[in-house]
Structure 1
Amino acid sequence: MQSGTLSIVIPVHNEAGNIDAVIAEAVEVFSAAFEGFRIIAVEDGSTDATWEKLAALDGQYPQLTAIQHPERAGKSAALRTGFLAADTLWVATMDGDGQDDPRSVADMAAKIDLTSLNAPALVCGCRTNRTDGANRKWASRLGNGIRRTMLRDDCPDTACGLKLTPRDLFLALPFFDSLHRYLPPLTRHLGFEQIYVDVVNRARISGETKYTNLGRAVAGFFDLMGVNWLMRRTHIPARHLLFTPRDND
């Protein structure tokens, strides 16, 4: 069991068929893995019964905090809400569709000390057995290649929902709708170290993906241009000036 306390933020949209199993498994795994933990599930404007199920789970598990967005604001906004609600030095993220194995969060957390702010400042999960269809895999490879060229980003799987980073570092980054996809290049640009950990990707049991290749490509093009501009116009004299470590009480 790892010492220290970890917050795990789970953004959720239209996952009524998965959320019960996701939370139950996460509580079981994290109870054995961490000295203390808190799950913050942010329901992002679902149109099914996701919120009703989350509200019931909130009463069932004392480790769970459920927060609702009355209207859909997007994954990055849901993550930001969760990070704002967190009160730990380190925060992990995982998706609410059941494809992320919570044991991967424990594997990633084992690479750092949860009781202090140290290097690396970003632990990225990299899916070794992606269960997406062939079209999405090829689209992802193409997008990763363009991103690496423009942003000098060597993360092999920036879209993976499993990440671990200090709370204050995430909140210090400029917010935009697709921030979650650009954590590796932005973190590296600010001078922070990052590492990659192989993680398990499981098949979705219920529901459907929230993205299409065309929609992702169109939004990704403009996001890429914006992040490229932002990085060129952002200069930090020293990384320790970006945020001030807080006592973890």
Structure 2
Amino acid sequence: MPAPQLSVVIPAFNEEGNVLALLAETVAALRGVLDFEVVFVDDHSRDGTLALLQGALATTPELRVLAHEVQSGQSTAIRNGVKAARAPWVATLDGDGQNDPADLPGLVAARDAGPADVKLYAGWRVNRQDSGSKKWASKWANGIRSRLLRDATPDTGCGTKLFERAAFLDLPYFDHMHRYLPALMQRAGWKTLSVPVNHRPRGAGVSKYTNLGRALVGIRDLMGVAWLITRSRRTAVRELE
């Protein structure tokens, strides 16, 4: 089987009410557009998520399913999915269904029209469908992050992203790194571009994060990424002949 042109990596934890619809939407958005695979990474769900995905393997040839033996978090699930991906470019979606797979062809088109040094196309939720408190917390966090990291990215929390696999795997790995991909890509010497995307209300289940919990972890992570940026060293390399 030839390698796909695009791998769609979707982390999921206790999302039995969302994964099959999300899979169907992703397949519908990409079939006939390019060769692709969908890699779901189940983060040791305690509900029927993994069983539903395993059942879908028989009817969806583009589907691959990875299962964590221990719950390890979203960043680890994304990284394991990217490591397993067979395409040179990877798109990500959150497993809760709030990201719209219909945006994926547009991200690929933006990539095809963009310069070669843009290695990350980050979704920008211009019309967020979340509670007022969640939107306020996100706006506050994005403002602080933007001032400290100067990554020129209005929305790093959006799960809809498209990036080069090799560039991603070259980044420093740590828990919650998926929230800082624009700054980390820029630290590595690449450019990033924000692309407006759709955002939808959660169809089923509940959010796995609280505003307070996200804020407490985010402060520590933000300081760590800022430190990484100050310690970055890059130089051009040439090989003698």
TM exceeding 0.5: yes
Alpha-carbon distance in structure 2 between the residues aligned to 1:21 and 1:185: 32
**Among 128, 134, 137, which residue is 1:139 paired with?**
137
Q: Using the alignment, how far apart are the partners of 2:179 and 2:121 within structure 1?
A: 14
**Helix, strand or coil at the partner of 1:11:** strand
Deviation at 1:89, TM superposition (A): 1.1
CA distance in 2, matches of 1:92, 1:117: 18
| Cα pair 1:117 1:166 within 8 Å, conserved | no
Aligned to 1:81: 80
Q: Report percent identity of matched pairs.
A: 44
Q: What CA deviation, in whole Å up to 9, does each residue of 1:73-130 have, x standing for no partner?
A: 010100011111112111111111111111111111111239x992311101101110
Equivalent-residue separation in structure 2 for 1:193 and 1:168 (angstroms): 14
2:9 partner letter: V
**TM score, norm. by length of structure 1:** 0.90
Asked if structure 1 preserves the Cα contact closer than 8 Å seen for 2:171 and 2:188, the reply is no
Structure 1 residues without counterparts, runs of 5 or longer:
242-249
SS at match of 1:194: strand
Q: Name the CA distance, whole Å, in 2 between partners of 1:32 and 1:157.
A: 30
Pairwise CA distance, 1:23: 0.5
User: Equivalent residues in 2 for 1:198-237 (5 A)?
Assistant: 198-237=196-235
State the AA in 1 paired with 2:42: E
> Is the CA contact 2:38–2:62 (under 8 Å) kept in the aligned structure 1?
yes
DSSP 3-state at the match of 1:105: helix
Once residues 207 and 186 of structure 2 are traced to their aligned partners in structure 1, the CA distance between those partners, rounded to angstroms, is 29
Distance 2:51 2:123 in 1: 30
Identify the residue that residue 15 of structure 2 maps to in structure 1: 15
**Number of the residue aligned with 2:37:** 38
Output the TM-score relative to the length of structure 2. 0.93
Distance 1:28 1:190 in 2: 34
After superposition, the C-alpha distances for 1:20-52 in whole angstroms (9 at most, x for unaligned) are 111111111110322x00100000011111000
Query: Residue type matched to 1:99 in 2?
Result: Q
CA contact (8 A) 2:11 2:43 kept: yes
Query: Aligned partner of 1:138: which letter?
Result: W
RMSD: 1.7
- State the AA in 2 paired with 1:94: L
SS of the residue 1:83 aligns to: helix
Preserved CA contact (<8 Å) 2:7 2:36: yes
Q: How does 1:75-154 map to 2 (within 5 A)?
A: 75-113=74-112, 118-154=116-152
- SS at 1:24 equivalent: helix
Counterpart Cα distance in 1 of 2:169 and 2:48: 30
How far residue 66 of structure 1 moved from its aligned partner, in angstroms, is 0.4
Aligned length: 235
**In 1: Cα distance, 2:203 partner to 2:134 partner:** 18
